[in-house]
Amino acid sequence: MATRALLAVISASPPRIIRIKASTFPSSSSSSLQFQRHSRIARCFSSDSNSSVLQPPDVSRLAETARISLTPSEIEECGAKIRQVIDWFGQLQQVDVNSVEPAIRAEMEGGNLREDAPETFENRESIRASIPSFDEVYLKVPKVLNKE
């Protein structure tokens, strides 16, 4: 089964170098699948004179920011998986992106804005039916406690 071999770290040389295989079509025997640890991931998190230190994720803090409550066992389980994935993201730090423009999305045509003119939506009753707590024209929510 193809699994972690596909996550193998990119070569030490800059990513634009092609790895050439001897045969055009690889032989049919599959090689053993081994997950190659990213030796350079540790370096991603070490202090460098020019790069900022990326702290590993604090799951409780993130959950608070994202307004999601987690049980203690979820924090532990989720946390381990998240740290593993964020570790793996670290290989992007090795890519030479000097003077490469970030692409927000695929190439887009311009001028796709419409008039900022409100229209009445006919099926208001259906919208209202979906609201969990509703009182005449108001959506009901509990009070807001000011933390400061």
Partner 1 sequence: MLSTLQPPRSLTLLPFRRLHTSKTIASLSSPSPTLDASPISPPQSQILTTRRSLLSGETTASEIAKSYLSRIRLTEPQLKCFLHVSENVLREAQEIDRRISRGEEVGPLAGVVIGVKDNICTEGMPSTAASRILEHYRPPFDATAVRKVKEMGGIVVGKTNMDEFGMGSTTEASAFQVTANPWDLTRVPGGSSGGSAAAVAARQSMVSLGSDTGGSVRQPASFCGVVGLKPTYGRVSRFGLMAYASSLDVIGCFGSTVADAGMLLHAVSGYDKFDSTSSKQDVPEFESQFLSVDSFESEPLKGLRVGLIRETLEEGVDSGVRSATQEAASHLEALGCVVTEVSLPSFSLGLPAYYVIASSESSSNLSRYDGVRYGNQVMADELNKLYECSRGQGFGGEVKMRILMGTYALSAGYYDAYYKRAQQVRTLIRKDFKAALDQNDILISPAAPSAAYKIGEKKDDPLAMYAGDIMTVNVNLAGLPAIVLPCGLVEGGPSGLPVGLQMIGAAFDEEKLLKVGHIFEQTLKGSGFVPPTLPNVA
- Rule CB under 8 A: which of 35-94 touch partner 1? 52, 54, 57, 59, 62-63, 65-70, 74, 77-78, 81-82, 84-86, 88-89, 91-93
Q: How far is the CB of 92 from partner 1 (least distance, A)?
A: 5
Cβ atoms within 10 Å, residue 63: 16
Out of 21, 72, 118, 136, point to the residue binding partner 1 (CB under 8 A). Answer: 21
Out of 26, 37, 42, 48, point to the residue binding partner 1 (CB under 8 A). Answer: 26
Q: How far is the CB of 96 from partner 1 (least distance, A)?
A: 9
Residue 12 or 66: the one with the smaller Cβ distance to partner 1 is 66
Out of 28, 39, 47, 50, point to the residue binding partner 1 (CB under 8 A). Answer: 28
Out of 102, 118, 137, 148, point to the residue binding partner 1 (CB under 8 A). Answer: 102
Q: How far is the CB of 129 from partner 1 (least distance, A)?
A: 7
Contacts of residue 1, Cβ cutoff 8 Å, sequence gap at least 6: 33
Cα distance between residue 18 and residue 94, in whole Å: 16
Q: How far is the CB of 27 from partner 1 (least distance, A)?
A: 9
